[in-house]
Amino acid sequence: MSRVRGRVTAWAELLRISALATVPGDALAGAAAAGLRPNRSTLLAIGSSLCLYEAGMALNDWADRAEDAVDRPGRPIPSGRVTPRAALAASAALTAAGLGLAARAGRPTLATATALAATVWSYDLHLKHTPAAPATMATARALNVLLGTVATSSGGAARPRAARATAAGPAGGGLPDPGHGRRPPAAALGSAALVGAHTYAVTAVSRHETQGGSTRTPLLALATMLAVAAATARTRTGPGEPNTGRGARTPKPANPLSQPASATGVTGRLAGAALAGTASRNSAVVDRLVTAALAASYARTPATPLLHAALNPSPPLTQRSVGAGIRALIPLQATLAARSGAPGTALLVLGLAPLARALARKVSPT
């Protein structure tokens, strides 16, 4: 029994299962950015992302086995607990499984997953030790967000989230809020770019986690993440979406008095318009407050570890800051979902944070 437990632990360390909880939120944030409800294709995209992520983890240790034998001899391959052949075979099998799941969601999803897999393999086999490493990892995470967008959009039962009415609503002559309806898939590019910027910063710090010695890099990473937090806290605007920020002009509802008379009368329409307008404004305020709170949670997660790494750039503190940066992806993904008008998705993603913390106590995500 102890032998089996040892093998399970070794593979858990190789695959860095504590970081798995940061993966589903990419696809869910991508679907939310397009104004779509998650569907079967979204689940296939999440499954594909998980497989490709773990394929990259196994391939990473296989490619770094000689380096780890010197810097991190306790890793599963240098310590002999997992053979290099087994790690490479696992990476190939997981890549095939990820592409197979993506194919079931349609050709556009398969094309996106193929680009993601190619990016992962390029990073692990060559680009990891070049100046292009942070940009490559940022590209991989951005593609992971777009994978969710493409899969959900191309799903046969893709349904937009219900539009919320502004002012009097459709029945009272008001306008539906297009910020909560379906958007073109290109609308997810902003969310993908923000996730990519965060990933770039984390990867830049991770390049020093075995040797330490960098004070400037953690500070630059912290500045980048604070900028990302500020960007996500802003009210989302885009083609066909109202700007509800400072100085924005609220869409003017149709005049209830101009509508044909009915049994409810003009007074009823005026009352309905007033109530709907108040509800819409209150809802917008709540959305902004929730998004701001989530953005603050995201910024707070890596802030202290990065400051510690800047003040004392030792390998242990640098590794701790990288782990915090990885876990910070979860509140970032939740913030992106909330700013896209999907509070339910945001809550679902945020619920993965306790799992990530619990797993990190057992298996390091770095």
Per-residue pLDDT reduced to its tens digit, 256-301: 444 554 545 555 555 555 555 555 556 677 778 889 999 999 999 9
Q: Which two tokens stand for residue 116?
A: 């993601």
Q: Which residues pair with 164 in a beta bridge?
A: 177
Give the integer Cα–Cα distance in Å for 227 and 196. 13
Per-residue pLDDT of the chain (366 residues; tens, 9 = 90+): 678 888 999 999 999 999 999 999 999 999 999 899 999 999 999 999 999 999 999 999 999 999 999 989 999 999 999 999 999 999 999 999 999 999 999 999 999 999 999 999 999 999 999 999 999 999 999 999 999 999 999 875 556 665 554 433 444 344 444 445 566 667 789 999 999 999 999 999 999 887 877 899 999 999 999 999 999 987 554 444 444 444 444 445 555 444 554 545 555 555 555 555 555 556 677 778 889 999 999 999 999 999 999 999 999 999 999 999 999 999 999 999 999 999 999 999 999 999 999 988 888 888
Which tokens in the block code for residue 238? 């885009």
The pLDDT of residue 247? 43
Grouping H, G, I as helix, E, B as strand and the rest as coil, residue 164 is strand
pLDDT tens digits, residue range 156-211? 555 666 555 443 344 434 444 444 556 666 778 999 999 999 999 999 999 988 78
DSSP 3-state assignment of 165? strand
Q: What angle do CA 241, 247, 249 make, to 5 degrees?
A: 50
**Residue 34 and residue 149 in contact, taking contact as beta carbons nearer than 8 Å:** yes
- CA atoms of 257 and 32, how far apart (whole Å): 37
For tokens 């993603």, the residue is 349
Is pTM, for the whole model, over 0.85?
A: no
